[in-house]
Every structure is written in C-alpha cells, then in structure tokens.
C-alpha cells in the first residue's frame, strides 16, 4: 500500500529560516558595536572589552614631563590610547616597549598614546626608565594624585582606555598586552576611523 507523501514537520522550514536569521543577527550587531567590529578584539587584544556605545569621557587633567597641566580635550581629533602605568608595576614595565613600537607604527597626527604614570615619590625614575628602555616615541605624562585614574574608574595597573577622535571611550583592557601585534594595530586603526 502506498501512502501519500506527507510533510510530518510542516513548520520545519520556518524553524530553519528563523534559526538562520538568529545566527545572522549577532553578525549585524557586531558591526555596530561601539562603531568597531568586535571581531578585532582577538589574539593579543582578546581581553580588550569594547563598550556597546561610545561614551563621553570626563575631561580629566594630568601633567606633562614639565608639570604643565593638560587634559584630554588637547587630543581631540585624534584617537587616543590612554595607558595608566607605573615604574614599580612589572606588567606595566613589560608592555611599555610594545606601546612605543605601536606609536611608531601609526601617524601621530591621527593617533597618540598617552602613558599616564602614577609614580609619585618614584616620579624621578620615569625619565631614566624611558632612556634605559629606549622609548623614543612616547611622551611622558603624570597623573598627579591619581585624579585621572579615579575620574576614569581605573582600579588596576596597567589599564589602557581607547578613545575615539571625538573624546569618547570605545573600550578598555585591564592588564598588559602586546600592543605591536597586527591585531592590536588593526584595532587602533579602527579607532582612528571611528
């Protein structure tokens, strides 16, 4: 006896189509995540946490090597990697040469690294540390009294905050990283274009 052909799962096409649409949705969301594709947070940047939407940062103050007061608005129009560090912090010291190489790899008129030292009594060690490590691309900046650190809710050293040219936070990474890796450079280029 032959049975007529029946579709025992009439909704299977609908379920399949819905499942495929659900898989496509995260890809769409990724493209607009903080204006940067989160797929860039991989490899050396896998611990980098992008914000969902770029958020304005407080215009925190800090000092340059000559104790001249500065604030983040001085760097508007450029992407900024704000790095909190200290000479007595071993992971901070480890990542500084790669930050110097990252700065060398990108144009300073569009991207700048601002390494904010929280060295207080050890402040005189910063200049000699730059010299010993041959850090020629990075400027020297100080967060006197850790005011910028507190104002930006930084609790761990090192912490790096990526800021877009409009002065908004795109994301941050706590702990040291290899900043001169291809994926790191790619993430910084995305911030420049954000």
> What is the maximum alpha-carbon separation in the chain?
96
Q: Are 2 and 136 in contact (CB under 8 A)?
A: no
Task: Tell me, yes or no, whether 126 lies in a domain.
Answer: yes
pLDDT at 8: 44
- Domain CATH number, residue 56: 3.40.30.10
Spatial CA neighbour of 140 closest among 77, 79, 73, 87:
87
Instruction: Give 159: exposed, middle or buried? Use CB within 10 Å, 0-12, 13-18, 19+.
Output: buried
pLDDT at 25: 37
The pair of three-digit structure tokens given for residue 7, joined into one six-digit string: 């579709």
Task: Tell me, yes or no, whether 2 lies in a domain.
Answer: no
Count the domains in the chain. 1
pTM for the full model?
0.82
Task: Tell me, yes or no, whether 4 lies in a domain.
Answer: no
Report the alpha-carbon distance of residue 21 to residue 15 in Å, rounded.
10
Q: Are 162 and 187 in contact (CB under 8 A)?
A: yes
* Residue 92: φ, ψ to 5°: -65, -50
The pair of three-digit structure tokens given for residue 139, joined into one six-digit string: 């400027």
Report the alpha-carbon distance of residue 84 to residue 156 in Å, rounded.
9
Element (H, E) at 48: none
Task: Tell me, yes or no, whether 6 lies in a domain.
Answer: no
Domain limits at 96?
A: 12-193
Per-residue pLDDT of the chain (194 residues; tens, 9 = 90+): 454 444 444 444 433 333 333 344 343 333 445 568 888 888 899 999 999 899 999 999 999 999 999 999 999 999 999 999 999 999 999 999 999 999 999 999 999 999 999 999 999 999 999 999 999 999 999 999 999 999 999 999 999 999 999 999 999 999 999 999 999 999 999 999 97
The pair of three-digit structure tokens given for residue 144, joined into one six-digit string: 């006197």
98 CB neighbour count, 10 Å cutoff = 17
CA neighbours within 13 Å on the CB side: how many for 32?
4
Task: Tell me, yes or no, whether 5 lies in a domain.
Answer: no
């Amino acid at each position: 006896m032959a049975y007529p052909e029946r579709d025992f799962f009439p909704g299977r096409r609908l379920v399949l189509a819905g499942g495929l649409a659900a898989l496509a949705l995260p890809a769409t969301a990724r493209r607009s995540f903080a204006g940067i594709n989160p797929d860039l947070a991989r490899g050396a940047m896998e611990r980098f946490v992008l914000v969902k939407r770029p958020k304005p940062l407080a215009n925190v103050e800090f000092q340059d090597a000559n104790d001249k007061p500065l604030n983040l608005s001085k760097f508007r129009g450029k992407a900024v990697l704000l790095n909190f560090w200290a000479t007595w912090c071993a992971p901070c010291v480890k990542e500084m040469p790669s930050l110097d190489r990252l700065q060398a790899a990108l144009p300073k008129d569009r991207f700048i690294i601002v390494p904010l030292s929280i060295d207080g009594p050890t402040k005189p060690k910063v200049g000699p540390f730059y010299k010993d490590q041959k850090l020629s691309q990075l400027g020297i900046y100080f967060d006197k009294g850790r005011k910028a650190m507190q104002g930006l809710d930084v609790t761990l050293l090192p912490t790096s905050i990526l800021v877009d040219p409009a002065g908004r936070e795109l994301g941050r990474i706590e702990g040291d990283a290899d900043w001169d890796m291809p994926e790191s450079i790619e993430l910084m280029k995305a911030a420049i274009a954000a």
